[in-house]
């Protein structure tokens, strides 16, 4: 049967903690300087994090990275690079490892464990969305976004985003806020009160794509494809639009971002019951050469899932039932 729907390490952390614990206790400005310097070091070394070679070691290390980045945010709460970086780290862990555990629990019929994991995943995405929304609000020159969001009317929100958010510097906050807010809703267990906000999260993501479709290796376009493919048309989904988003995303990233290939297979191909496309996309992931440091771990996550999804092809694409000739 088809599946159920559902930044880098701060290298200067020791400096920050050492100063915080002793010589600059109470000196908030010096602590903030140290935290900001640590964030700069982390950003400079991000390829070493993104380009790591082992899926399991990386997954075990990410929770420590989260705790370290949370400590830095406490010291420098307005550092936008740290805020979006931590939102990204939470997202990496939630999708790359926690959601994988959820799928495994669901596959083996351990629904109690799957429900527990789903609640944890929702909380992780909720925290990530809070961090990213702080960046979005910091870019709100007219300081009206909170009121526009609270009004829960889509067209005024879209108009306000186009009016106020006009620069590529606005993209990281919009992208991570829209992505994580939407992911939190997707893991709400079907809570209609939570899902009602989905169009507003999508509006943030769409505005980020309008400003820079290349950001996060075309991740915004791929995410919009996933949204369109994950809902039946009765609830606003559109498979042809999904295909268009996915194909454009792959063109923009030159097919280097294999998570887009993975989502294309699992959402669109499964919903369309296109077995040939499903297998083709997953084999492309498994047969592709290394795409470099900037996408290595991203693509290892995709490869890890692709191997398992291929083993489930007969479950997700059952042969048509043989017709029974009418009895005479």
What pLDDT, in 10s, does the model give residues 293-307?
A: 999 999 999 999 999
Record the pTM.
0.86
Q: Give the confidence band of 30 by pLDDT, cuts at 50, 70, 90.
A: low
Task: Give the tens place of pLDDT for each residue, 250-298.
Answer: 999 999 999 999 999 999 999 999 999 999 999 999 999 999 999 999 9
Q: How far apart are CA 49 and CA 88, in angstroms?
A: 13
Q: Are 99 and 76 in contact (CB under 8 A)?
A: no
Task: Walk me through the domains of the chain, giving residue ranges and CATH numbers.
Answer: 64-315 (1.25.40.920)
Task: Give the tens place of pLDDT for each residue, 174-184.
Answer: 999 999 999 99
- How many C-beta atoms surround the C-beta of residue 226 within 10 A? 24
Task: Give the tens place of pLDDT for each residue, 16-25.
Answer: 333 333 333 4
**Helix residue ranges per DSSP H, the chain:** 13-21, 28-44, 46-50, 55-75, 80-93, 99-107, 111-138, 145-151, 154-164, 171-186, 192-195, 198-211, 215-230, 239-252, 258-263, 270-272, 275-287, 296-311, 313-316
| Distance, C-alpha 121 to centroid of its chain | 12
Average pLDDT estimate for 41-53: 65
pLDDT at 11 over 50: no
What are the structure tokens assigned to 194, written together? Answer: 């939570």
Instruction: Output the furthest CA–CA distance in the chain (Å, rounded).
Output: 94
Q: How far apart are CA 301 and CA 86, in angstroms?
A: 19
Q: How far apart are CA 301 and CA 59, in angstroms?
A: 10
């Amino acid at each position: 049967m088809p599946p159920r729907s559902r930044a880098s390490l701060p290298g200067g952390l020791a400096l920050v903690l050492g100063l915080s614990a002793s010589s600059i206790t109470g000196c908030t400005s010096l602590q903030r300087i140290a935290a900001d310097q640590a964030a700069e070091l982390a950003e400079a070394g991000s390829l070493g994090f993104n380009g790591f070679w082992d899926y399991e070691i990386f997954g075990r290390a990410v929770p420590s990275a989260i705790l370290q980045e949370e400590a830095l945010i406490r010291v420098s709460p307005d550092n936008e690079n740290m805020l979006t970086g931590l939102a990204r780290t939470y997202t990496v862990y939630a999708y790359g490892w926690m959601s994988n555990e959820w799928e495994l629990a669901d596959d083996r019929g351990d629904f109690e464990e799957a429900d527990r994991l789903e609640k944890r995943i929702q909380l992780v995405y909720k925290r990530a969305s809070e961090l990213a929304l702080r960046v979005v609000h910091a870019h709100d020159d007219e300081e009206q976004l909170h009121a526009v969001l609270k009004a829960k009317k889509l067209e005024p929100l879209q108009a306000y985003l186009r009016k106020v958010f006009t620069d590529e510097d606005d993209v990281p906050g919009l992208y991570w806020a829209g992505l994580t807010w939407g992911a939190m809703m997707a893991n709400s267990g079907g809570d209609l009160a939570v899902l009602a906000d989905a169009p507003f999260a999508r509006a943030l993501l769409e505005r980020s794509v309008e400003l820079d479709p290349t950001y996060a290796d075309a991740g915004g376009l791929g995410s919009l494809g996933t949204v369109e493919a994950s809902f039946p048309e009765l609830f606003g989904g559109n498979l042809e639009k999904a295909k268009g988003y996915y194909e454009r995303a792959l063109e923009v990233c030159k097919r280097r971002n294999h998570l887009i290939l993975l989502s294309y297979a699992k959402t669109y191909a499964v919903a369309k019951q296109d077995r040939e496309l499903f297998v083709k996309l997953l084999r492309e992931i498994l047969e592709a050469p290394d795409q470099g440091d900037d996408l290595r771990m991203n693509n290892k996550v995709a490869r890890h899932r692709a191997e398992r999804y291929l083993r489930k092809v007969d479950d997700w694409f059952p042969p048509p039932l043989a017709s029974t000739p009418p009895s005479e």
